Copies of this chain bind each other. A is one copy, B any other.
Amino acid sequence: MVHKANARLDASFAALSDPTRRGVLLQLGRADASITDLATKFHMTLTGMKKHVGVLERAGLVTTEKVGRVRTCKLGPRRLEDERAWIESYRLLWDARFDALEQVVQGLKRKEEME
């Protein structure tokens, strides 16, 4: 279970690590689009765009459907819930860590003032 969740996070964070792929996701958030539309919009070859869409599709972030000769892309079923949760838990740890540091600093300051 953990292993599966981990593999999913690996795939989605890797998918998000490219500016074109992030742009494609935001674009599909506005309207469905064909691979050709996306290639034109992002000034890319059809082959290049197909690769990016493939990465997004394997990460469950995009689904595609071919009708006739046109492959239409739309947002996939994943709402980045696990990714959001991971980042939140990191931020909680980060806050606790830096709050603890801040308390040490404040403690030292008080000690100096008392001396």
Taking Cβ atoms with an 8 Å cutoff, the residues of A that contact B are 6, 9-11, 13-14, 16-19, 22, 25-26, 28-30, 75, 79-80, 83-84, 86-91, 93-98
| Majority secondary structure, A binding face | helix
Q: Which of A9, A87, A93, A95 has the most CB of B within 10 A?
A: A87
The answer to whether B87 and A29 touch across the interface, beta carbons within 8 angstroms, is no
* Minimum CB distance partner of A93 in chain B: B29
Give A14 to B10 CA distance when docked, in angstroms: 9
Question: Least Cβ distance of A11 to chain B in Å?
Answer: 8
Q: Do A29 and B94 touch across chains, with their CB atoms under 8 A apart?
A: yes
Partner of A17, one of B10, B75, B80, B98: B10
